[in-house]
Chain A
Amino acid sequence: MKRTIPLAITAIVGAVLVIAYFIPHPPFDGLREDFSIFFDIMATFAFILGGGNLIKMHGNRISRREEGWFFSLVTIVGFLLVLLVGLTKFGNPDGFRGSSVTASGSYFDHVYEYIFRPCGATMFALLAFYVASASFRAFRARNAEASILLLVAFIILLGRTFVGALLTSWLPDSLRFLTIPYLAEKIMVVLNFAGNRAIMIGIALGIVSTSLKVIIGIDRSYLGSD
């Protein structure tokens, strides 16, 4: 029973949505759109589940006084404060019912502006240094594939800045195809596009086969082992 009902739900919902695509008449015509909204609603419940898990996990660390419990306290205090400010629209210029939660000047907007955005941007900016170290390691691999990867990355980087144009500006018009901006453009528009298209076709085939396996019930990994 623990496995049969979930399998039946997946099969019925999946099959109905596939069939609905081929029946453009009520009540099937709007079904796919409705289920997209249902999916968004479920995703929001998943966010709530994530928040609950966060409190449970860090709460346990605090209650057991595990190493670094103070940082767990920081996480929970930050989480609860932002939740309170967001759900009550605290400090919103037009009050609780007046405007959006992200209204300019609201406390929630300040949280976004002064904590969420700077932390997120700095975390990703740090990756610039690690990417540089990764490219150095790729360069040390000394094989054709790694060299092509790095060369292309270099051309793209140069081609999208004024340095690329400056370096090859002395080339005559007849050799325009050797200029870095031209090469960067052709790599992006032709070869990068071709590679991405092949990957997209491969992904599409993979998703179609995986979806079929899930709907038919061949793939049951999401049910766990028990």
Chain B
Amino acid sequence: MKRALWIIITGIIVAVLVVRTASGNMESPFAGIEGFGTWFAALLTLAIMSFLYDDNPLYRFAEHLFVGVSAAYWMVMGFWSTLVPNLLGKLWPSLTAQLFMPGLADTTHDPLWFMYFIPMAFGVLLLLRLFPKGGHLSRWALAFILGTTAGLRLIAFLTADFMGQIRSTLKSVAGLTPAVLPGGSPSFSFETMFWDLVAVIAIMAALCYFYFSKEHKGSFGAFSRIGIWVLMITFGAGFGYTVMGRIALLVGRIEFLLRDWLAVI
């Protein structure tokens, strides 16, 4: 009974789409690549949305297609935007300009061009992970990636995030970042100073919550409790923004279905 109902509903929808397309009220799937693409995108959108009801073959088709397409998409983007200009273009500039990039500005070697053999060698070692016998050699590449990440991030986070955030906090509490009037002249406002003070207390409270070397008891415990509330407010704001972003995406998809595909709005 349920199956028959689904067949009837699907039949009605298909009939409506055929009639609308035949009467020219919506774009035909045979009207060039744009028409076919719009139909394909719409059907993929509906297939993914069908997951709200239950897992089904249509959803799994769209999901698997998306996985394959996105893996290839990022691979192609990486090849053309990184490998060609930053690796091949550095090692063999003339050949790269001749084969791939006629617009390559500089076809002469950098003074330290041979350094680029390092990432190429480690990149090839990384690919050995695909073969059982060469697996341990891919660790060399992994070690290089980790060493680079650690060396670059250690300094970057220490200067930009750790020191930078503390500097900005102290500047605001010292009244060094007053509200600027439309005319451009700085002006102190009690409201700004009040909120700066609230921000500093909130930061201290949240940091107290992250301090685990002392038991959270007494006045320290009460202060760290305020820290939890500050963190909950932060997570709540993030949650609100996430919901807004997702709803905006949903509205965008519905708009695509109704305007670009069905042409009813």
Contact = CB atoms under 8 A, between A and B. Distances in A.
Interface of A: 2, 5-7, 9-18, 20-21, 27, 32, 34-54, 56, 68, 71-72, 74-83, 86-87, 97, 100-102, 108, 110-129, 131-132, 135, 144-145, 148-157, 160, 186-205, 207-208, 210-212, 214-215, 222-224
A204 B157 contact: yes
Interface stretch (B2-10, B20-28, B115-123): B115-123
A125 B203 contact: no
Contacts of A41: 82-83, 86-87, 116, 119-120, 123
B226 to A, nearest CB: 11
Contacts of A12: 147
B243 interface: yes
Contact of A200 (B79, B161, B252): B161
B69 A78 contact: yes
A30 B153 CA distance: 16
B259 interface: no
A89 B73 CA distance: 12
A145 B232 contact: yes
A125 B232 contact: no
Contacts of A68: 60
Given A78-B65, A211-B150, A198 B127 contact: no
A187 B79 contact: no
Contacts of B41: 113-115, 117-118
A131 B243 contact: yes
Interface in B178-205: 195, 198-200, 202-203
B175 to A, nearest CB: 16
Interface residues of B, number: 116
A160 B120 contact: no
B147 A10 contact: yes
Contacts of B33: 110
A111 B209 CA distance: 48
B75 A131 contact: no
B66 interface: yes
Given A97-B100, A148-B232, A37 B165 contact: no
Nearest to A79: B68
Given A49-B129, A190-B195, A192-B233, A13 B151 contact: yes
Nearest to A68: B60
Interface in B121-138: 122-124, 126-127, 129-130, 136
Interface stretch (B11-19, B48-56, B213-221): B48-56
B162 interface: yes
Given A37-B119, A201-B203, 20 more contacts: A44-B78, A44-B79, A56-B130, A74-B68, A75-B65, A80-B68, A82-B72, A114-B40, A115-B40, A126-B49, A151-B236, A152-B236, A187-B237, A191-B202, A191-B234, A197-B168, A197-B169, A199-B231, A201-B161, A211-B150
Contact of B130 (A17, A52, A71): A52
Given A5-B140, A108-B76, A118-B44, A198 B206 contact: yes
B143 interface: yes
B207 interface: yes
